[in-house]
Each structure stands twice: as C-alpha cells, then as structure tokens.
C-alpha cells in the first residue's frame, strides 16, 4: 500500500499479487489491486476484483465507494450511485461517499437530490474543504439567480479558509466574483495569491483574464500544463464542468459532411487531444490517428482510453510547424479557446495539411462585426466570426464554413460557440 500511495504501481501490483498467492481471498489486496487495475486502464478487471473483495467483506464502505468511483469514471452513473448508497448503508457519515453521491446525482441532472446530498455531507463533515468547494461549483453551475452565485462565493471562501493549500478554491472564488461584476475583488484574489507564490503561472494568467494585466497572445504553456495536469486528475470536476459537453460529436458530424465515407484512409491529427474524447469518433476515418497535447496528465488519460496510433506531449503550433503536409485532417476541439490571435496556428495548420485537407475546430463566440479575440475571466478567449475568417483567409484556406452552436454549459447556461471548417486549397467562400 505504501508503494501504491507513492504511485509506484508496478511494485504495488507485484506485492498485492504475492499477498493473493498466500491468501487467495485476502480482501484488502483484492480491493486495492482492483483500484490499481483501474488506474492502469484495466477497469473491468478492477470491478471484478473489488466485487470479489466485497463477497468476503460485504459491509466495507471504502470498497463500495471505490467500486462506485470506477463506475463513475467509466461513465456508468447509475451503477456508481448504487455503490455510493451501499457505502452509506454501511457508514452513513462516509463523507467521500456522500460527496461522490452528490456529484453523480448532479451529473444525472437531479439537482434537488444532489443538493440534499451536499447538505447531509456538510452536516456530517463540517470541516471538509472539498465539500464546500464542490457545493460552490454546484451552486454556480445550477444557478437560478444571482443569490446562488453569491452563495458560491461563501462556499469557496470557506473551502480556502479550511484548507489554505486548496488553490482551486481561490480560482473558483475569483470566477464567481467576476461573474458578480465585483472585478476589483476578483483581481485582488489573484494579486494576493501571486504575492505568496510569484512563479505560479495560474494566478499570473488569471490576473490578466480579470483585466489586471495585459492579455498574452495565447494562454502560456506553463499555465495550460498546470491547469490541465490538475484537471486530468480531478474527474469529479471534469464531470461537473463537462455537463452537456458536445464539441467532439458536433465537430465529428461537421467533418463527416465533407469527408469521404469512413474507410480508415486518412491521416488525422487531434490537436489538443486532452483525455482523448475525440478518438472513437475519428477512428473510423483514420488510417493513422495521432493526438498531441501540452499536458502530460491529459495525454496519460488519453493513453489509457486508447484509440490513437501515437500520442505526443507538445505545443500544438510548434508540432504543426514540424509536420508539413503530413495530415489529411487536423481537428481541434475546445482547444483554440486558449489562443488569442489565431493567425500563427492557422498558418501552421495550413502548411501541415496536404492539399485539399480539412481543418476543423471550435471557438467561443464574441459578439460583433470586427476582427477581435478577447481574453475572458475564465482564462479562455472568445473570438468574433471575423477574426476566425480573416485568420483562415490570410493563411490561405478556402471553403471556410462557420456556423453557430452550443457545445457546453457554463453556470447552467449554454455557451455560444463557433464550429469552423476550412479546406487547404479549396475555393473561396462567397
């Protein structure tokens, strides 16, 4: 277990298996080996091992909770809910089971029951910082009025007061303050944070996002790495934030209108592949499917999910510049929102595509007729239609098609997005 906690999974697995050779049904070895198998991408084996452990010790709240976590992370929310409920039958105050239950109820769009679970959680564990943080996110994601955003501010402050190293609570606090138009307070959160931790790229970028300093041309590499390495590990948050996330499906459907019938014939790059949600949608078209992303944590998750021929940890513009005329399709889902000026990326993508190759990507909408990219308080950029169009035209793309859709929700509201397709060497759109 020490090796497991130290992330030395190979040693831990060998030792758990040695224990099981000595005692076939040793429940802790079965249970923790199950958790480890899931961490290594062998989730079905993990489920079987924990189920076997539970035959030996059927009233083990942690084992039920961990089995629930595997189901949750595999997207089986109903099964996860049942496991958390069993854990709570064994130990009604189990605060991880309570907070996990709240998360899966919210993800199943059952906000009243989720709120009830959060209430029980904070009664059972009034000093559990993560509980306040998750409740704050819940209130903001499901806000029916301004009072819920105000309450989220209280939750994030409480989470940070209870756990001063819990910097995600600070970021969440500032976003809520900004949403309430308390911009000076929002910027002050980052100034204070930067004073304590001057080299941290997160408050540096977010201070710019609050208008406290000039916006950079795109989110700095160290900010992206830091943010997404943390994000990769916090699946709970990912579930919460990804409510109604549709960018991969919508981009794949747009591409399907211009690509030949799927015949595993194209070389495709998933630029900013994240945890690999696009892979199963692109695979039927791909002879070779490569993912590239700045965050090693996200790439690790993508590797576990499978579906790529190759995965690389790299900055995508630089990667495109190094692979000229290498791709029939370059797709970038919900990633160029970390870019301000799209010009350098568009030029690199144009040169990386083969003649008649397609570029497909999504952006968030900035209103207006001009040519503008605006850094917003979330740390992401919004683009006008004109900006996307001009950047692509200047790079030499033709056949440019820009439509509007909503690809995810934020604070309970649909986020307006651009879905963009452009062809290298195509004809100009009228």
Q: How far apart are CA 351 and CA 339, in angstroms?
A: 19
Strand-strand pairing, 327-332 and 353-364: parallel
Give least dist CB 229 to ligand SAM, A: 8
Give least dist CB 344 to ligand SAM, A: 10
CA atoms within 13 A on the CB side of 42: 13
Q: How far apart are CA 162 and CA 311, in angstroms?
A: 39
Give least dist CB 326 to ligand SAM, A: 16
Residue pair 70/43 in contact (Cβ under 8 Å)? The answer is: yes
Residue number of the CB atom closest to ligand SAM: 274
Give least dist CB 58 to ligand SAM, A: 38
Cβ neighbours, 10 Å, residue 257: 8
Backbone angles phi, psi at 361, to 5 degrees: -155, 165
**Which residue, chain included where needed, has tokens 């756990």?**
163
Interface residue list for ligand SAM (CB under 6 A): 224, 228, 247-248, 272-274, 277-278, 293-295, 298, 315-316, 333-335, 338
- Residue closer to ligand SAM by CB (options 203, 274) is 274
**Residue 406 forms beta bridges with which residues?**
416
Residue pair 313/294 in contact (Cβ under 8 Å)? The answer is: yes
- Residue closer to ligand SAM by CB (options 16, 319) is 319
Strand-strand pairing, 413-424 and 397-410: antiparallel
Residue pair 71/86 in contact (Cβ under 8 Å)? The answer is: no
- Residue closer to ligand SAM by CB (options 180, 365) is 365
- Residue closer to ligand SAM by CB (options 228, 358) is 228
- Residue closer to ligand SAM by CB (options 267, 270) is 270
**Which residue, chain included where needed, has tokens 């931790």?**
197
- Residue closer to ligand SAM by CB (options 316, 347) is 316
Give least dist CB 124 to ligand SAM, A: 33
């Amino acid at each position: 277990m020490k090796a497991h906690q130290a992330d030395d999974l190979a040693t831990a697995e060998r030792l758990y298996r040695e224990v099981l050779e000595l005692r076939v049904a040793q429940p802790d070895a079965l249970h923790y080996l199950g958790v480890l198998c899931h961490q290594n991408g062998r989730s079905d084996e993990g489920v079987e091992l924990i189920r076997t452990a539970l035959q030996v010790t059927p009233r083990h709240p942690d084992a039920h909770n961990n089995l629930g976590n595997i189901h949750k992370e595999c997207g089986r929310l109903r099964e996860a809910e049942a496991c958390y409920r069993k854990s709570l039958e064994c130990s009604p105050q189990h605060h991880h089971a309570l907070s996990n239950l709240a998360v899966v109820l919210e993800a199943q769009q059952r906000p009243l029951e989720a709120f009830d679970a959060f209430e029980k959680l904070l009664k059972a564990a009034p000093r559990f910082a993560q509980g306040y943080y998750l409740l704050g996110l819940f209130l903001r994601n499901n806000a029916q009025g301004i009072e819920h955003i105000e309450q989220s501010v209280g939750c994030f402050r409480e989470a940070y007061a209870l756990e001063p190293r819990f910097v995600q609570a600070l970021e969440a606090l500032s976003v809520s303050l900004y949403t309430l138009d308390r911009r000076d307070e929002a910027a002050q959160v980052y100034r204070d944070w930067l004073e304590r931790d001057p080299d941290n790229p997160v408050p540096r970028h977010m201070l710019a996002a609050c208008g406290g300093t000039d916006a950079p041309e795109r989110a700095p590499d160290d900010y992206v790495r830091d943010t997404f390495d943390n994000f990769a590990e916090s699946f709970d948050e990912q579930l919460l934030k990804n409510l109604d996330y549709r960018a991969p499906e919508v981009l794949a459907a747009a591409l399907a209108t211009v690509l030949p019938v799927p015949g595993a014939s194209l070389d495709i790059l998933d630029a900013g592949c994240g945890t690999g949600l696009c892979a199963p949608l692109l695979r039927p078209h791909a002879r070779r499917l490569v993912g590239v992303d700045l965050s090693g944590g996200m790439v690790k998750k993508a590797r576990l999910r499978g579906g790529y021929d190759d995965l690389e940890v790299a900055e995508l513009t630089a990667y495109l510049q190094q692979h000229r005329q290498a791709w029939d399709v370059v797709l970038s889902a919900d990633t160029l929102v970390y870019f301000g000026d799209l010009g350098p990326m568009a030029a690199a993508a144009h040169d990386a595509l083969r003649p008649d190759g397609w570029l497909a990507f999504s952006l968030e909408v900035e209103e207006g007729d001009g040519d503008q990219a605006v850094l917003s308080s979330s740390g992401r950029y919004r683009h006008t239609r004109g900006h996307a169009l001009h950047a692509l035209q200047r790079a030499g793309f033709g056949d440019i098609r820009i439509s509007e859709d909503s690809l995810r929700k934020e604070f309970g509201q649909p986020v307006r997005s651009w879905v963009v397709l452009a062809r290298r060497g195509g004809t100009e759109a009228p």
